[in-house]
Structure 1
Amino acid sequence: MKFKNFPMVPRVIFGAGSFKQLGEILLPKRKSSDTPVIYLVDAIFENQEISKQIPVLFSDQIIYVSTDEEPKTEQVDALVSLLKTNYPELPAAIVGIGGGSILDLAKAVAIMLTNKGKAEDYQGWDLVKNPAIYHVGVPTLSGTGAEVSRTAVLSGPEKKLGINSDYTPFDQVVLDPDLTINVEKDQWFYTGMDCFIHCIESLNGTYLNAFSQSYGEKALDLCKEVFLEDIDSSSARDKLMMASWHGGMSIAYSQVGVAHAISYGLSHVLGIKHGIGNCLVFQYLEEFYPEGVALFSKMMDKHNIILPKGICKNLSENQLNTMIKVAMAMTPLWENALGANWQDTITESKLKSIYKKI
């Protein structure tokens, strides 16, 4: 038996206010004043306090990126082309500051600066040939696990699928819970549920092992504390940031499952953001995760979350078929959830019935 030899983030700093040390962290990576650090920052932070704290020096550039839509392969290609045109040398670093979309975008740009072709060419598993340039992740939301995962999830012309490789993980992560203080309630819940669903899918999967189980159980316990108990806001921020980290580690050595596979189709066709997409799907997966769905319902009730309805009500047959095609292509996710014979359970009609409930 051959065991997976996955890389992990080699350096991480955690603590309220740790973002202020970013300049110190980046300084040794600067070759000269002409070699910039490129900051990819969620556009929501433009003219906000967090942007004023970004340690810009010399020829550094801040690029504000809208997260109204999920990151796309063509967006990665456009950013890489821009950087190669504007700078004769490779940047000293790519720094992603934002939620999962920005972190995935930063990982993908760092990879594509050193690999030929288009980003869509690398959607899959272990297709990247050359190491990425130095890249740093600074999450401003907690739950996606993008800060620790070996994938950069992108929507391409044909599919939504990650660039999964040993070169994808960040070289450095800055975990500052204070950066999540002003997250809106619904966004906080949806992103936190991404972590919760990671845990449920990992802990109930056929790929489960002691490594993924140890991280998944801890992340699940933290999610229960944050979303079911009454704890102070500072402690909740700390715990959810740690839950996100542990949840991401749990799936690093296992895999996600049914909710993620189905939500990829939803996102690819309708542009539904990942967190809420998982929630929209998960509520109807009692057949696969009965205990998890029961907990999810309790969490929604406690925080007065009402999910939108009728999302798929007026979809054309072509749209539904595209969703199904994207979801059915997630073979490792289905195998983790249901085993090698997953196609005995998951059929096109089965998926169509779930989508039509949403």
Structure 2
Amino acid sequence: MTFKNFPMVSNVVFGRGSFNQLEDLIAPKRKGRHAPFIYYVDDVFKGNHWLTARIPLAYKDKIIYIPTLEEPKTEQIDQLVEDIILEFSESPSGIIGIGGGIVMDIAKAVSLMLTNKGDARDYQGWDLIKNPAIYHVGIPTLSGTGAEVSRTTILTGPERKLGINSDYTPFDQVVLDPELTKDVPKDQWFYTGMDCFVHCVESLQGTYLNAFSQSYGEKAFDMCKEIFLSDELSTEDAQDKLMMASWHGGMSIAYSQVGVAHAMSYGLGYLLGIKHGIGNCIVFDHLEDYYPEGVALFKQMKAKHNIELPTGVCADMHDDDMQKMIDVSLELEPLWENALGKQWKTIMTREKLEDLYRKM
């Protein structure tokens, strides 16, 4: 039997105010005054000097603000890579993503595509990347996605929504500063937090479960229950714990897989443009038959925080679009196998999947 040799994030710093150490952390990686650090920053921080004034710009370093109304597309990655190649005479010293899962996925994807020829869509899938990425750093300003620790980027291509899954994808450096999450709107806090919760449920109930993923998943699961159902935590404690739950949840699926909710959420994202966090919530709300205890807890959390999810998003979908959405979802075979076992194709038929989608 061959065991998975999983690459972990090489360096991580955690703590309130640790963002202020960024200059010291990246300085040894600077290759010269003509090799810039490129900062991809969530455009919600444009004009927010509390954060942007602390970005340690020098020489030809550049901040590029990233709109996050839509999840990243492969052609967007290709354009960002081309922009760098055309503007700078030398390859960047590094790519630094500051934001939620979208921005961190873009940072990972660009760092990979700077060293691998072709288009981003050519690498959607598992272990297609051949060359190591350039130095890249992840700094989450949302907690829950696990993007800061995962070997995946979520990308929508012309034919599919599928990540670049590679041993070269994980960040070389991660900065976990819970202070950076202080202004997250409540709904967004819930959706990304539930992404973490669903990671844990799907990992812990999956057929790929092992002691490695279980140890991380159980810890993150317990922290999610404390954060979203307890009244005992201070705001700062909740921020600290959710950032660590996100890390542990991401580690849990790194050595296993996610399941039904994520597979179906990818379909919603591809056809309807529904963002990953809220998409997981919309789907998971209807998965009592697959994750009864997890869904019951999710409904408690949703009620406690007065969250209203969109309804009827698929009810009137044209049949051609529905069939495409089913295709996108069923293409994610490792997710289905983890959820339902090796005979999953006999369990999750196209008809059953369409019936689930029509309820949403």
- The aligned counterpart of 2:352 is 350
- Residue 55 of structure 1 is matched in structure 2 by 56
Percent identity of paired positions between Structure 1 and Structure 2: 65
Aligned CA-pair RMSD: 0.6
Aligned counterpart, 2:214: 213
Q: 1:319-334 alignment to 2 at 5 Å?
A: 319-334=321-336
Q: Following superposition of structure 1 onto structure 2, how do residues 1-358 of structure 1 map, counting pairs within 5 Å? A: 1-48=1-48, 49-230=50-231, 231-358=233-360
Q: Which amino acid aligns with 1:212?
A: S
Q: Separation in 1 of the partners of 2:117 and 2:275? A: 29
Q: What letter is aligned with 1:145?
A: G
Q: Deviations over 1:30-50 (max 9, x none)?
A: 121111000011111111021
Structure 2: tracts of 5 or more residues without a match: none
Shift of 1:306: 1.1
**Paired amino acid for 2:185:** E
Alpha-carbon separation, structure 2, partners of 1:124 and 1:97: 25
Q: Deviations over 1:92-115 (max 9, x none)?
A: 000000000110110000000000
SS at match of 1:19: helix
Report the alpha carbon displacement of residue 257 of structure 1 after superposing the two structures with TM. 0.2
How many residues are aligned here? 358
Please report how far the alpha carbon of residue 88 of structure 1 lies from its aligned counterpart in structure 2 after TM superposition.
1.6
Per-residue deviation at 1:14? 0.3
Q: Distance in 2 between matches of 1:355 and 1:128?
A: 33
CA contact (8 A) 2:34 2:89 kept: no
Distance 2:120 2:152 in 1: 13
Give the secondary-structure state (helix, strand or coil) at the position aligned to 1:12. strand
Q: TM-score, normalised by structure 2?
A: 0.99
Deviations 1:168-204 (CA, angstroms, capped at 9, x unpaired): 0000000000000000000000000000000000000
C-alpha displacement at 1:20, in angstroms? 0.6
Structure 1 letter corresponding to 2:68: T
Q: CA deviation at 1:148?
A: 0.2
The C-alpha deviation readout for 1:255-289, integer Å capped at 9, x for no partner, is: 00000000000000111000000000001000000
Shift of 1:69: 0.2
The CA deviation at 1:314 is: 2.5
| Uncovered stretches (5+) of structure 1, i.e. residues with no partner | none
**Structure 1, 46-55 or 102-111: larger mean CA deviation:** 46-55
How far apart are the structure 2 equivalents of 1:32 and 1:91? 9
Kindly state the Cα deviation for residue 224 of structure 1 after the two structures are TM-superposed. 0.5
Alpha-carbon distance between aligned partners in 1 of 2:222 and 2:58, rounded to the nearest angstrom: 42
TM-score for both structures, normalised by structure 1 = 0.99
For residues 278-306 of structure 1, give each alpha carbon's deviation from its aligned partner in whole angstroms, at most 9, with x where no partner exists: 00000100000000000000001111111
